[in-house]
């Protein structure tokens, strides 16, 4: 997919996804011309440079900047043909306390990425979303929904440019910073794992699967779709049992802005949602992209009008043993239940 003239930039490139994406691209496409990590934290960039030394990865560049700064984005995008937008503020409680900061980064920063890509002859853009953007109940989810809309609508103003914008939306990334599994692994040492609600469920995806989805979107998306993967769910009680079977598990109540079950496709989305096989695609309501997908492959099917994709009603759930194996594979190779 990436040839010896490809120039790729990833915003938020020092995050969990960014590092996994960079590692995969460098391993799979060592001939790539340039791979730019764009982020605002100099320490994280320095730490990442130790992992990817210049003498071994001369195609890798580190560019300090903030998506809030459109001029800096334009400078970073000179000569770039592909952009992955992963930069975001993500912590739900912090968003409730500091709403304008999340709006400035996730919404206005997303618009800056859109406008800079339109200005700088970028050809492919994939923006990362979250399950919390579907029927949002917290400010973080609301800002990501706004961001999703900005990237999808950008296809309406691309004119004759060879440019397409798409969005990928997936669930909780196993082992990512701030997620429940690393939290439980740390808290298990204390002998107590706090459970928010015994009925709570979440979608689950590995970093590797998230990276593969973005690469698939870069190669296959037509522009204008919001892609959702078919992935399993887990029960929060099963995660606790997998990590700390001997731990106490008190019920502490959900935090402000949390849902019992996460959604990725709502019933309201169903009229414009199509099944692509490994992924669903939520398409614009005007129907033009839907007809292109239906004409492209007889296996592309519209979902039923009452369809919804919810972590609680998902038919695919991970067992306690499956969770333990996934933690060993994706989070901590030295993991042992306590």
Q: Active-site residue among 132, 160, 208, 249?
A: 132
The DSSP call for residue 108 is: I
Q: CB count, 10 Å around CB of 121?
A: 14
Q: What's the helix, strand, coil split of the chain in %, to 5?
A: 40, 20, 40
Residue 33 appears among annotated catalytic residues = no
| Of 261, 240, 238, 257, residue with least CA distance to 313 | 261
Residue 272 contacts residue 289 (beta carbons within 8 Å): no
| Of 98, 124, 104, 106, residue with least CA distance to 7 | 124
Rg of the chain over all Cα atoms, to the nearest angstrom: 20
Phi-psi domain of 89 (left: phi exceeds 0; alpha: psi -120 through 50; beta: other): beta
Buried b (16+ CB within 10 A) or exposed e, 67-96: beebebbeebbeebbbbbbbbbbbebeebe
Assigned token pair, 109: 């920063």
Residues tagged active-site: 132
């Amino acid at each position: 997919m990436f040839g010896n003239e490809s120039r790729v930039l990833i915003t938020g490139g020092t995050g969990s996804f960014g590092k996994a994406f960079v590692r995969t691209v460098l391993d799979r496409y060592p001939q790539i011309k340039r791979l730019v990590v764009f982020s605002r934290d100099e320490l994280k960039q320095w730490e990442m440079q130790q992992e990817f030394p210049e003498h071994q990865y001369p195609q890798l560049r580190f560019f300090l900047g903030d998506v809030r700064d459109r001029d800096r984005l334009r400078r970073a995008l000179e000569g770039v043909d592909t952009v992955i937008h992963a930069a975001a503020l993500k912590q739900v409680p912090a968003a409730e306390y500091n709403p304008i900061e999340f709006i400035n980064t996730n919404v206005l920063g997303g618009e800056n990425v859109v406008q800079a890509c339109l200005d700088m002859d970028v050809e492919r853009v994939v923006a990362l979303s979250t399950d919390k953007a579907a029927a949002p109940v917290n400010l973080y989810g609301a800002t990501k929904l706004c961001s999703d809309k900005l990237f999808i609508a950008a296809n309406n103003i691309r004119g004759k440019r060879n440019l397409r914008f798409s969005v990928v939306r997936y669930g909780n990334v196993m082992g990512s910073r701030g997620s429940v599994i690393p939290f439980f692994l740390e808290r298990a040492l204390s002998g107590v794992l706090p459970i928010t609600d015994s009925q709570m469920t979440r979608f689950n995806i590995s970093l590797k699967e998230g990276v593969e989805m973005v690469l698939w979107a870069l190669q296959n998306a037509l522009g204008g779709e919001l892609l959702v993967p078919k992935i399993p769910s887990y029960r929060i009680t099963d995660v606790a049992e997998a990590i700390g079977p001997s731990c106490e598990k008190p019920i502490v109540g959900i935090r402000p802005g949390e849902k019992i079950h996460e959604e990725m496709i709502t019933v309201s989305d169903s009229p414009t949602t199509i099944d692509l096989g490994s992924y669903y695609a939520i398409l614009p309501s005007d129907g033009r992209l839907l007809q292109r997908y239906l004409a492209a492959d007889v296996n592309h099917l519209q979902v039923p009008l009452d369809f919804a994709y919810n972590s609680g009603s998902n038919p695919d759930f991970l067992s306690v043993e499956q969770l333990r194996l996934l933690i060993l594979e994706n989070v901590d190779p030295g993991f042992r239940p306590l």
